[in-house]
Amino acid sequence: MPTSTSKRDHIFQSALSLFAERGFDATTIPMIASDAKVGAGTIYRYFENKEVLVNTLFQHYAALFTKTLEEDYPKDAGIRDQFHHLFQGMVRFTNEHEHALYFIKTHNAAYFLDETSRSQFNHLLMILEGFIDEGKEKEQIRGLPSKALIAIIFGGFLELFKLIRAGEVEATDALLAGVEESCWDAVRHHE
């Protein structure tokens, strides 16, 4: 059992959930260290400094999320099916990595992100924008700024998962389907 790998993982996980819950600036290295049950100095064996840590984290989960969205993407299906694929990707990804999407959403414009992180995030945006632009061309998605439409989708989705985590709502298939439908109605073209 490789101890060092598990230590790096502990640090990674603690940093992810603390950054997601409190934000980068309000999360201290001692906090991460104590949450990960390692000495403060140990963090620096695995990450050059706090900014490298947050960028590594960001890139890792942005890439993972991108992969989730791209995998088995139904290129030739209808817009609605493609939307379903994307929405299901968010659901699956959030189930597997509890804080990751919230962390990405709340930190994607932060001052400390490096070029790699920004372009990683842009790649992610472009996938979503590509979908939306294609839908606009086919007149199946309404003619609003893509970023606003993406924000609506993310906003609704993340809020839903906050409620689920808080136990205020149960994550039934019906609920998920309902929110998907709501988001879809927000973006689709109505005659």
Partner DNA sequence: CATGAATGAGCGTTCATTCAT
Partner DNA sequence: GATGAATGAACGCTCATTCAT
Question: Which residue ranges make up the site for its own copies (CB under 8 A)?
Answer: 21-26, 111, 142-145, 147-152, 154-156, 158-160, 162-163, 168-169, 175, 178-179, 181-183, 185-188, 190
Q: Do you know the residue count of the chain?
A: 191
- Work out what residue 7 binds among its own copies, DNA, none; the CB cut-off runs from 5 to 8 Å by kind: DNA
- Work out what residue 163 binds among DNA, its own copies, none; the CB cut-off runs from 5 to 8 Å by kind: its own copies
- Work out what residue 77 binds among its own copies, DNA, none; the CB cut-off runs from 5 to 8 Å by kind: none
Query: Looking at beta carbons only, is 3 or 75 nearer to DNA?
Result: 3
Give strand pairing partners of 188: 141
- Write the CB contacts of 72 (distance below 8 Å, at least 6 apart in sequence): 85
Q: How far is the CB of 189 from DNA (least distance, A)?
A: 47
Amino acid type, 2 = P
CA distance 96 to 101: 10
- Work out what residue 39 binds among its own copies, DNA, none; the CB cut-off runs from 5 to 8 Å by kind: DNA
Token pair 């990751």 in the structure block, residue? 100
Query: Looking at beta carbons only, is 40 or 177 nearer to DNA?
Result: 40
Closest to 32 in 3D by CA, of 1, 60, 57, 3: 57
- Work out what residue 182 binds among its own copies, DNA, none; the CB cut-off runs from 5 to 8 Å by kind: its own copies
Query: Looking at beta carbons only, is 22 or 67 nearer to its own copies?
Result: 22
Query: Looking at beta carbons only, is 60 or 188 nearer to its own copies?
Result: 188
Give the largest CA-CA distance in the chain.
60
Contact between residue 171 and residue 157 where contact means Cβ atoms under 8 Å apart: no
- Work out what residue 50 binds among its own copies, DNA, none; the CB cut-off runs from 5 to 8 Å by kind: DNA
Query: Looking at beta carbons only, is 37 or 147 nearer to DNA?
Result: 37
Give the CA angle between residues 168, 172, 177 to the nearest 5°: 110
Q: For residue 168, give the 3-state DSSP assignment.
A: coil
Q: How far is the CB of 42 from DNA (least distance, A)?
A: 3
Give strand pairing partners of 141: 188
Query: Looking at beta carbons only, is 4 or 95 nearer to DNA?
Result: 4
Give the tokens for residue 19.
């950054």
